[in-house]
């Protein structure tokens, strides 16, 4: 598995480490010529979604990445990456890729540096291959406040989804890459 890690801003290095730990090869996507390299999956890391979205457009990466995501490229997105994918931002008309049928509220978890375990939701196919916990660090993380009926919920915290899967997209409100637990990276590589 060869993973292209978006590296224009934010916490991309931690994803490179996490995917390397589970035996995947990674490289950084910083400019359009990086897209000429073959890759099987894309990481959209945490950081600042407005900055990332603007940089993606300025660098000419936005349209080609959107086309690949829509064509089925597997995506692993955390935090700001989830915001870039969401179809709707609560109280904000901004839409970036808009490919994931969820509504998110930015900065909903405040300045929360601790990590906590989010229980996996049950249900058919829910969290297949995962243990019953997905530990994540929440750092000014978005809340997933609404999901379309066919979005699979991989984990919940306080009654709200904190990780979801839909078609080729896995998206996390917090940061599994900032914990020692590699189960979601392994599961994503096995998909």
Rounded CA separation 136/114 (Å): 9
Rounded CA separation 169/186 (Å): 15
Instruction: Supply the DSSP symbol for 175.
Output: B
Residues numbered 126 to 145 that lie near ligand GLN (CB under 6 A) are: 139-141
CB of 138 to ligand GLN, least distance (A): 8
Q: Measuring CA to CA, which residue among 13, 18, 41, 28 is closest to residue 186?
A: 18
SS3 19: helix
Cα 153 vs. chain centroid, distance in angstroms? 13
Q: Confirm or reject binding of residue 48 to ligand GLN (CB under 6 A).
A: yes
| Residue 81 host element (H or E) | helix 80-85
Active-site annotation holder among 14, 15, 79, 152? 79
The correct pick among 49, 105, 162, 179 for binding ligand GLN (CB under 6 A) is 49
The correct pick among 39, 76, 85, 106 for binding ligand GLN (CB under 6 A) is 106
Q: Which is nearer to ligand GLN, 128 or 160 (CB)?
A: 160
CB of 84 to ligand GLN, least distance (A): 8
Rounded CA separation 102/154 (Å): 14
- Which residues are bridge partners to 6 per DSSP? 29
Q: Confirm or reject binding of residue 83 to ligand GLN (CB under 6 A).
A: yes
Q: Which is nearer to ligand GLN, 153 or 178 (CB)?
A: 178
189 carries an active-site annotation: no
Taking CB under 6 A as the binding criterion, the range among 34-42, 66-74, 75-83, 162-170 that sits at the site for ligand GLN is 75-83
Which residues are known catalytic residues?
79, 175, 177
């Amino acid at each position: 598995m060869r993973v292209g890690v978006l590296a224009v801003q934010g916490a991309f290095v931690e994803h490179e480490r996490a995917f390397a730990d589970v035996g995947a090869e990674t490289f950084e996507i910083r400019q359009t010529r990086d897209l000429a390299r073959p890759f099987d999956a894309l990481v959209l890391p945490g950081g600042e979604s407005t900055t990332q979205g603007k940089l993606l457009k300025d660098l000419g990466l936005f349209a080609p990445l959107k086309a690949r995501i829509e064509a089925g490229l597997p995506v692993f997105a955390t935090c700001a990456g989830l915001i870039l994918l969401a179809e709707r931002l609560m109280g904000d008309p901004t839409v970036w890729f808009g490919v994931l049928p969820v509504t998110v509220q930015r900065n909903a978890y405040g300045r929360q540096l601790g990590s906590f375990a989010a229980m996996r939701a049950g249900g058919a196919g829910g969290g297949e291959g995962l243990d019953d916990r997905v530990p994540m660090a929440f750092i000014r993380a978005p809340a997933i406040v609404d999901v379309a009926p066919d979005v699979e919920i991989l984990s919940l915290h306080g009654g709200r989804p904190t990780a979801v899967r839909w078609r080729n997209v896995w998206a996390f409100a917090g940061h599994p890459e900032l914990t020692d637990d590699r189960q979601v990276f392994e599961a994503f590589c096995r998909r």
